[in-house]
Amino acid sequence: MEAASPATRLDAYLASRFPDLSRSRIAQLIAQGRVLVNGVPARKSQRPESGDAVSVEVPTAEPSALRPEPIPLNIVHEDADLLVVDKPAGMVVHPSVGHTSGTLVHALLHHVQDLSGIGGVRRPGIVHRLDRDTSGLLLVAKHDRSHRGLATALKRREVRRIYLAASWGHLREEDLLVDAPLGRSPTHRQRMAVVEQGRSARTRFHRLERWRAADLLTAELETGRTHQIRVHLLSIGHPVVGDRTYGTGAERGVSGPDRRWAAELVRQTPRQFLHAAELSFHHPVTGESLTFRSPLPADLRSVAAWARSTSGG
């Protein structure tokens, strides 16, 4: 293999020569002794010189320790590099404490047969997450190069993500930008909150429909923080309808003739009214511009139909 200039570290050089491998994967291969310079195991900080012989052994991706599960999935797009999945409400994305089976990852391991592996393990790469009770479109990478490209696009705000949400009360404007930093709540450690020292977070809201005591909105993420839409709406006094973490009891703030309507909306809504409805991005390998849309699922569609029909227009 042709060596880099003497100023280039080995790990940086290999990253430029092997676009399918992440820097962390290259570091792992070096640590495992699978990268040789002139037949000798290399160090990642080593600087190869002109004329050096550099060899790299990339082993076949290891099987995941997780057991594939034949869980039905709605895969709306699949190619050699990535998938777009329409996740149902109630499905957890990643295995975790209390969720050791039945997750999206378990389902993907069963349905996708050509995973080349993320970080040396034959598993899907979840590019961004959706909460368990949020439905809609989600990006999945099949290999390191795709995962790295999509993650970089997210960081650069080049992936457009638009949600449909129902929120209590009425926004003061048809279009509203909420720019408020988010972090772990200092009083409820299982929740997120607007905190002064939190990470930058921006969400653009647009009202689609005005119901009697709630709005139907689009929410476009400019950043992707945990629970961002839910916490931003709570912070301006309009929590998501059906949100049992951030919106419980919000209907009690509705007074007058709309109070009974609000109570019925709670009864009608089976889970948080939040759905990832649109996803646009450039393919990380081909550069093709892709857009996918997902209509409201049946449970939220029926809620919206009821709210619309009882709101006088």
Q: Which residues are catalytic?
A: 131
Q: What angle do CA 106, 93, 234 make, to 5 degrees?
A: 165
Q: Where are the beta strands (DSSP E) in 185-247?
A: 192-194, 202-210, 214-221
φ, ψ for residue 83 (rounded to 5)?
-135, 155
- Report which residue type is found at 111: H
Phi, psi of 308 (to 5 degrees): -65, -45
* DSSP designation for 143: B
Sign of CA dihedral 142, 143, 145, 150: positive
Phi, psi dihedrals of residue 82, rounded to the nearest 5° = -160, 170
- Interhelix angle 10-17/23-31, rounded to 10 degrees, is 120
